[in-house]
Structure 1
Amino acid sequence: MSKSLWFIISYLIGFLILLKIFPTIVGSLVIALFFTILIDVIASYLEKIKISRKITAPLAAVIFYGAIVYAFYSLIPITIEESTKAFEVLKGINFNSIPGKTGEIINTLLDTAGKYLNDLIIQLAGYLASNISNYITVALLLIVASGYMAIASKRLWLSIDKFFPNSEIKSTKKFLLKTYSDLRKFVSGQIITALFVGIITWFMALILGFPYAIFLGILAGITDFIPYLGVFITAFPLILLGFTNFELIGIIKALTILITANQIETWILAPRISGGKVNLNWFLILISMFIFGQTFGVVGVLITIPLLIIFKNIWGMYIIQYLKNI
């Protein structure tokens, strides 16, 4: 068995152990690495329109981080505001006209839910206020770490043989280049797909008369990077906005937007844009996402596809080759 393979497996196991022991720090570094690749890909797209590399890298960072800050800065207040409105709308409906005790039960449930919502909002505000410094620290760590990784990546590559002593360094570099290339392909496909999902969501929300259409489009595009779970983050404020502005027909409008964007992504965008880039089975991704998510939390969901890419390349470049030589 190749010495390079044992080094790779050892580093991978060490990484997973550290992620389990220090989830916040290691998770932030992992997300920072993903952001570094993503910003580099965006910068590469900007270079195609004849913009200097010195400008594209910071411009890509501003675009990406600006979109994240805007989406999640707006998400909480809009969701709280619309949740409050939704309960007011429900309380305005005359459930007492329903025969029997059903109407009385519904009104009691709404009163209880309203009190619970008020308590939840107060608790959430207190939690955010007490943990705001932690969020700022993590955000700064992400920005600084991604910037450092972008600068130090070339030096790290030049000294890669120090991390794999007395091993087949050529095959190691081939594996690392293949893995990084696959990650870039995945990120590249995701950027284009997320952009289209965001535009579709924004356009349909605008046409159907939803407020905060730009916010919904940006949120849909940003959360599209989270496999399978991103759509639920967008769905919550979208359905709330639909209900508070158009009542029950608004829920149908919101579901129409979600289903349309999801189906276009599933049957048109993903197969054409990402299908040939990283060949991974969707069922394997789904099962792996639940396993890594349960083991490592939110970061586990985010690293599912990169880990599957690594496992796939280990199998294809080392295991199969070893089995052939037996």
Structure 2
Amino acid sequence: MIKTTRNWVLGYFLVLFSTLFLFPMTSRVLGLAFLFSLIINAPSEFVSKKVSKSVLSLATGLALLGFMFFLIYSAIPITINGAMSIAEELEALLKDGRFDSWLEKLPVFISSAITDLGETASKWLSESAINIGRFVASNITSWLTGTILLIVAAFFIARRTGVIRRNGQLLFPLCDHKKVEEFLDSLYRDFQTYVTGQLLIALTVGAIIGTGTAIIGVPNALFLGLLAGITNFIPFLGVVITAIPMLVLSFVNKGFWGLVGAVVVLVIANQLEMWVLSPRILSNRVKINWFIVLVSLVAFGELLGVFGVVFAVPLLIFVKRFWKEFVLVERSGKNWESTTGTGIKKARKKKEPSQEKATDSQKD
């Protein structure tokens, strides 16, 4: 019966994975909604009373919703203004007499190339700001539809998580329902552990980025802190997403030394996460090799875009749990056993028959 259960679980996984291509918007938004429901339920894991859990989940969901709208509301003007400011800085630099005198000291072909490059960059930034505005205007309707679906689905899943977990086994006929229930519970706990750990790390990193940018005098520190916290759910790439607007704002508003200060803040946050937060919070909970995570991020990112980057680690968690619950268990029934630390299989040795006790004549 375990083979039947395994096949049903694998079949559902393949069907759900195929919907990412058949119904890209709906399936990907629902996948994000599931992750958001885990975030909504994460703080309630630390309280015991049912009423307190419901209130805390609702408060977390509303706070998350407010953060999302604030980021969306702030991101567009900040991006456009940043691009326009850099374009103006480049244009002013090209018209500065000191820059021209410096170019005169260089060979003609080099100075001409630098001048053309600066003019091209300034023009490209100006056009990029206009194109961003057009892109947002043409896609705002579908984004609003997806956002509404995301919000409704996230709150529904968070509210009905217990019912879904209790009745999930009904979707697996002719299977070992106890095994199905154990697998789904273990898988959900793995997801919740990962998201809760990432939430704690995200709050810490977001606080460091927001406080650091406020100290060095960079505007929109709250926006940068929230952006760092939310994008921190994307391993390795979250810091890159935050670094781009942070460095641009620092350079535009504070010049070279503002740029240096932003780099220092980013390095402190990144190193603290890498050497202190992640090992202490996640390493002992969700044990997945960092190289496998990195390769998965690149592979799923190439396959599904930004959604693939977000879903990469949850997909790895499913594969790991499926392998542990079904593949290793099946192997153990075939004279194989699994080493706890590495998962490497090795043949189970038969116990050697005990030596017969020596007879009295042998003793003599």
TM-score by length of 2: 0.84
**What does the per-residue CA deviation read over 1:43-99, in whole Å, with 9 as the maximum and x for residues that have no partner?**
445x48998334222211111121122123212211221222122223333431222
Q: Is the 8 A contact 1:4 1:168 kept in 2?
A: yes
- Going from structure 1 to structure 2, the CA distance change for 1:49 and 1:107 (only over 3 Å counts) comes to farther
Structure 1, unaligned stretches of length 5 or more? none
Are 1:96 and 2:96 matched, yes or no?
A: no
Are 1:118 and 2:122 matched, yes or no?
A: no
Are 1:287 and 2:266 matched, yes or no?
A: no
Q: CA deviation at 1:314?
A: 1.2
Q: 1:301 aligns with which of 298, 305, 309?
A: 309
Q: Secondary structure at the match of 2:147?
A: helix
**Which residue in the other structure is 1:6 paired with?**
7
**Which residue in the other structure is 2:349 paired with?**
none
Which one has the largest radius of gyration?
2
Q: Secondary structure at the match of 1:247?
A: helix
Q: Which amino acid aligns with 1:26?
A: S
Which structure: greater helix fraction?
1
**Which residue in the other structure is 2:59 paired with?**
59
**Pairwise mapping of residues 121-270 of structure 1 onto structure 2 (< 5 A)?**
121-270=129-278
Q: Is the 8 A contact 1:67 1:222 kept in 2?
A: no
- Going from structure 1 to structure 2, the CA distance change for 1:24 and 1:120 (only over 3 Å counts) comes to same
Structure 1 residues 78-87 or 151-160, which shifts more? Answer: 151-160
Are 1:76 and 2:76 matched, yes or no?
A: yes
**Which residue in the other structure is 1:23 paired with?**
24
Q: Is the 8 A contact 1:23 1:296 kept in 2?
A: no
- Going from structure 1 to structure 2, the CA distance change for 1:149 and 1:51 (only over 3 Å counts) comes to closer
Structure 1 residues 176-185 or 105-114, which shifts more? Answer: 105-114
Identity of counterpart residues, as a percentage? 34
Structure 1 residue ranges (4+ consecutive) displaced by more than 6 angstroms after TM superposition: 48-51
Q: Which amino acid aligns with 1:96?
A: D
Structure 1 residues 171-180 or 54-63, which shifts more? Answer: 54-63
Q: Which amino acid aligns with 2:172?
A: F
For 1:50 and 1:2, locate their aligned partners in 2 and report how far apart those are by CA, in whole Å.
37
Structure 2, unaligned stretches of length 5 or more? 335-364
TM-score by length of 1: 0.94
Q: Secondary structure at the match of 1:2?
A: helix
Q: Report 1 or 2 for greater relative contact order, CA contacts < 8 Å, sequence distance ≥ 6.
A: 1
